[in-house]
Amino acid sequence: MGFDVLTSYDTWDLTQPILLPRSHLYQLEPIGIGTPLVESLTSFIARLAEVHCVPPRILISKIITPFLEQIFVKRCTNRGLRSLFDRARALNGTGRMARDFVEALEKLTVRDDLRFLTLLNWSDILVPRGLLRERKAWCPACYKQWRTSGRVVYEPLLWSIDAVTVCLSHHQPLCNHCPHCQQQLPLLTWRTRPGYCSICGEWLGITSNWDFSKGKIPSADESGWHSWVANTIGELIAVAPYLSLPLTQIKVTKALCAAIEIVTQGNIAAFAALLKMPKNTVWGWQAGKVLPPLDALVKISHCLGISLVDFLTQEVDIIKTSKKLLLPSPGQQKKIRASPRSFDSTQVQQALSSILAESQQPPPTLKEVAESLGYNRRLLYRHFPDLCYAIAAKSRQYLHTRRLEAVAHCCEEVRQATLKLHSQGEYPTEARVSLLISKPGYFRYKQVRSALLEARRELGERQSKMLE
Interface contacts to Zn ion, rule CB under 5 A: 139, 141-142, 167, 169-170, 178, 180-181, 197, 199-200
- Give the residue with the Cβ less far from Zn ion, 85 or 445: 85
Q: How far apart are CA 184 and CA 187, in angstroms?
A: 10
Q: How far apart are CA 50 and CA 54, in angstroms?
A: 6
Report, in Å, the least distance between residue 283 CB and Zn ion. Answer: 39
- Give the residue with the Cβ less far from Zn ion, 36 or 56: 36
Q: What is the CA radius of gyration of the chain?
A: 27
Residue type, 16: Q
Residue type, 143: Y
Report, in Å, the least distance between residue 162 CB and Zn ion. Answer: 18
- Give the residue with the Cβ less far from Zn ion, 173 or 293: 173
Report, in Å, the least distance between residue 455 CB and Zn ion. Answer: 43
Q: Is 401 exposed, middle or buried (0-12, 13-18, 19+ CB in 10 A)?
A: exposed
164, 229 in Cβ contact below 8 A?
yes
Q: How far apart are CA 47 and CA 31, in angstroms?
A: 11
Q: How far apart are CA 255 and CA 316, in angstroms?
A: 6
- In 21-112, which residue ranges form alpha helices assigned H by DSSP? 41-51, 56-58, 78-86, 96-109
- Give the residue with the Cβ less far from Zn ion, 84 or 230: 230
Report, in Å, the least distance between residue 114 CB and Zn ion. Answer: 24
Report, in Å, the least distance between residue 191 CB and Zn ion. Answer: 12
Report, in Å, the least distance between residue 144 CB and Zn ion. Answer: 9
- Give the residue with the Cβ less far from Zn ion, 176 or 434: 176
- Give the residue with the Cβ less far from Zn ion, 44 or 143: 143
Q: How far apart are CA 397 and CA 15, in angstroms?
A: 50
Report, in Å, the least distance between residue 363 CB and Zn ion. Answer: 23
57, 176 in Cβ contact below 8 A?
no
Residue 181 DSSP symbol: T
Task: List, in sequence order, every beta strand (DSSP E) within 264-390.
Answer: none
- Give the residue with the Cβ less far from Zn ion, 186 or 293: 186
Report, in Å, the least distance between residue 271 CB and Zn ion. Answer: 34
Largest pairwise CA distance in the chain: 117
- Give the residue with the Cβ less far from Zn ion, 48 or 168: 168
Q: How far apart are CA 157 and CA 228, in angstroms?
A: 17
- In 173-292, which residue ranges form alpha helices assigned H by DSSP? 220-239, 249-264, 268-275, 279-286
- Give the residue with the Cβ less far from Zn ion, 166 or 291: 166
Residues ≥6 apart with Cβ < 8 Å to 400: none
Q: Is 445 exposed, middle or buried (0-12, 13-18, 19+ CB in 10 A)?
A: buried
Report, in Å, the least distance between residue 301 CB and Zn ion. Answer: 24
Residue type, 133: R
